[in-house]
Amino acid sequence: MPLAAAIDDVTKEYILGAETVRALRGVSIDVPEGDFVAIMGASGSGKSTLLNLLGCLDRPTAGRIHLGDEDVTRASDDRLSEIRAGRIGFVFQSYNLIQQLTVLENIEVPLFYLGRLTAADRRRCHELAEMVGLGDRLRHRPSQLSGGQQQRVAIARSLMNDPYFILADEPTGNLDSGTTEEILVLLGKLNELGKTIIMVTHENEVGARARRIIRLRDGMIESDRRR
């Protein structure tokens, strides 16, 4: 099966004064297309570092990273920016919507970075809004939406660029239990439609909804299990 992402023997080190911190220590992970992975672990386990590498927000100290069929390990800053804009769908705990824009305009944001907005693109924005249950909220702004609705906008936005995968960073961290369930059901349905999801979470109940759970500890893989 083709891979959405592959991390091969990756190490990440940070220099803090006279100290070298090894945030990741020889981590290898393959994520097949259509997988639903939860990355879990205590604070300091390496989850955020791994997320930053998968999101092309940072580079490894050693090892290799492939997204789709492209080796991005030593890609230029400009190329990494293109990949972030064009091939990765981000969903954040704090939604990261632009408050001055409507629901429809927020979904269109990835197209702004890609420098295009065709009639077909506009139709797709409408379709994605319908898919996440916000077809009747297109002209609303984030301040007029609940937290769950804002996260639905973020999920629709993440799909706009036909990404290799959706990278969800604590996607239910700001939501109550009922709304958390709604968002997890939506992510599950998207996965059933073939979307690849990589979700970082510290909540066992949330992680249990993924097909596969990877636990990190002290920068290494402690376990990698499928349900």
> What is the CB neighbour count within 10 angstroms for residue 114?
14
Instruction: Of 84, 70, 75, give the one whose Cα is nearest residue 114.
Output: 84
pLDDT at 89 over 90: yes
pLDDT at 134 over 80: yes
Cβ neighbours for 88, distance < 8 A, ≥ 6 positions apart: 54, 55, 56, 67, 161, 163, 164, 165, 167
What's the pLDDT at 111?
A: 84
pLDDT at 113 over 80: no
Over range 49-59, report the average pLDDT. Answer: 94
pLDDT at 41 over 90: yes
**Where do the domains of the chain lie?**
34-61+78-226
> In the structure, what pLDDT confidence band is assigned to residue 27 with cuts at 50, 70 and 90?
very high
Q: Give the largest Cα separation in the chain, rounded.
A: 56
> What is the CB neighbour count within 10 angstroms for residue 225?
8
> What is the CB neighbour count within 10 angstroms for residue 195?
22
> What is the CB neighbour count within 10 angstroms for residue 152?
25
pLDDT at 115 over 80: no
- Indicate the SS3 state at residue 116: coil
- Average the pLDDT over each of 42-51, 76-85, 116-125, 153-162 and give the range with the smallest value: 116-125
> In the structure, what pLDDT confidence band is assigned to residue 209 with cuts at 50, 70 and 90?
very high
> In the structure, what pLDDT confidence band is assigned to residue 219 with cuts at 50, 70 and 90?
very high
β-pair partners for 136: none
Over range 214-221, report the average pLDDT. Answer: 96
Over range 164-189, report the average pLDDT. Answer: 94
Over range 94-103, report the average pLDDT. Answer: 94
Identity of residue 192: E
As a whole number of Å, the end-to-end CA separation of the chain is: 19
- Indicate the SS3 state at residue 56: coil
CATH number of 34-61+78-226: 3.40.50.300
What's the pLDDT at 1?
A: 79
Ranges of beta strands (E only) in 83-211 are 88-92, 165-169, 197-200
Over range 95-103, report the average pLDDT. Answer: 95
CA dist., res. 15 & res. 149, Å (int): 40
What's the pLDDT at 32?
A: 97
What's the pLDDT at 185?
A: 95
β-pair partners for 88: 165
Please give the model's pTM, rounded to 2 decimal places: 0.93
